[in-house]
Amino acid sequence: MRPGPRPRRPRWFPALLGTALGLVLVFLTVPVVGVFVNVSPAELLASLGEEGALDALRLSLETTAVALAIIIAIGTPAAYLLATRSFRGRALVVTLVELPLVLPPAVAGIALLAAVGPEGLLGDVVAGTGVRLVFETAGVVVALTFVASPFYIRQAQAGFAAVDPTLLQASRTLGAGEAATFVRIAIPSARAGLLSGAALGWGRALGEFGATLVFAGSFQGVTQTAPLAILERFGTDFTAALALSAVLVVVSATLLLSVKLLSGSAAFGGGTGAGA
């Protein structure tokens, strides 16, 4: 028996999908490639030798590291609460936590000034503790924490919500209290979500720009982070701006890659509740 003619399948839809992905890829990668094509390695090293550039990079790494530490220390238990308990007004709390995600960065800076600036809502409280925020490095950390924490908390919450609740219950029946269960079962099980949240939050903090500028200013060595240094050089020395940009691309890409690798090893071969 001869096979009949094969039914014609519409081919245009797969072609459409492929074209869309191609456009996305070109649009997103060409600018990044451009950064490296336009700056020679010699120029890159030369502009890094400049004092201000190194200051900005160091400050960026320091402030983002401190901000991330604060976000993880406070955001992890908060996200666990949101993921595992239901309470009145939970939806409202979740929305409030996510609000900074959609806030324009300049608005975030203004809002921070209005809240913890010298004339702000809590200005006296802040002044009373002896901590100075505006135009100070501590202010940069506050701005970064404000804009980056929702990224972490959202991911962490999703990670915790994906943990099989019977794992937590099993832990309880085996003699571990709520706190021990959180540390020994929930956190390791949600590791993939926590790591990707930390990467997103760190990436957001590293690129933070508007809120920092408005709230803390742009003083070399004190509040001028790498993105602010790029902005300053943009008007005067485009090559230097490109060089600093290239460094930031490398740092961010390394970050993304290492998180992918780490969370890859966090999945335990399809066991229950790996939270991947």
84 binds other proteins (CB under 8 A): no
Per-residue x/- mask for other proteins, residues 23 to 42, rule CB under 8 A?
--------------------
In 34-153, at which residue ranges do the beta strands (DSSP E only) sit? none
Q: What is the 3-state secondary structure (H, E, C) of 121-155?
A: CCHHHHHHHCCCCCCCHHHHHHHHHHHHHHHHHHH
**Nearer to other proteins among residue 124 and residue 178 (C-beta):** 178
d(CA 208, CA 210): 7
Q: Is 195 in the site for other proteins (CB under 8 A)?
A: no
The site that binds other proteins (CB under 8 A) totals a number of residues, namely 25
Q: Least separation, in Å, of the C-beta of 76 and other proteins?
A: 17
CB 141 within 8 A of CB 189: no
Q: CB within 8 A of 59, min separation 6: which ones?
A: 137, 140, 221, 222, 223, 224, 225, 226
Under rule CB under 8 A, residue 18 binds other proteins? no
Binding to other proteins by residue 237, rule CB under 8 A? no
Q: How far is the CB of 168 from other proteins (least distance, A)?
A: 9
Residue 185 structure tokens: 């079962």
Q: Which of residues 160-189 bind other proteins (CB under 8 A)?
A: 164, 166-167, 169-177, 180, 184-185, 188-189
Task: Give min distance, CB of 164 to other proteins, in A.
Answer: 7
By CB under 8 A, tell whether 55 contacts other proteins.
no
Please report how close the Cβ of residue 276 comes to other proteins at its closest, in angstroms: 10
Query: How open is the CA angle 18-20-21, to the nearest 5 degrees?
Result: 65
CA distance 241 to 232: 8
* Least distance (Å) between residue 86 CB and other proteins: 14
CB 265 within 8 A of CB 190: no
Spatial separation of the C-alpha atoms in residues 109 and 214, rounded to whole Å: 5
Binding residues for other proteins restricted to 135-164, rule: CB under 8 A: 164
Residues 244-273 that bind other proteins (CB under 8 A): 268-273
Which residues sit at the interface with other proteins, rule CB under 8 A? 164, 166-167, 169-177, 180, 184-185, 188-189, 191, 268-274
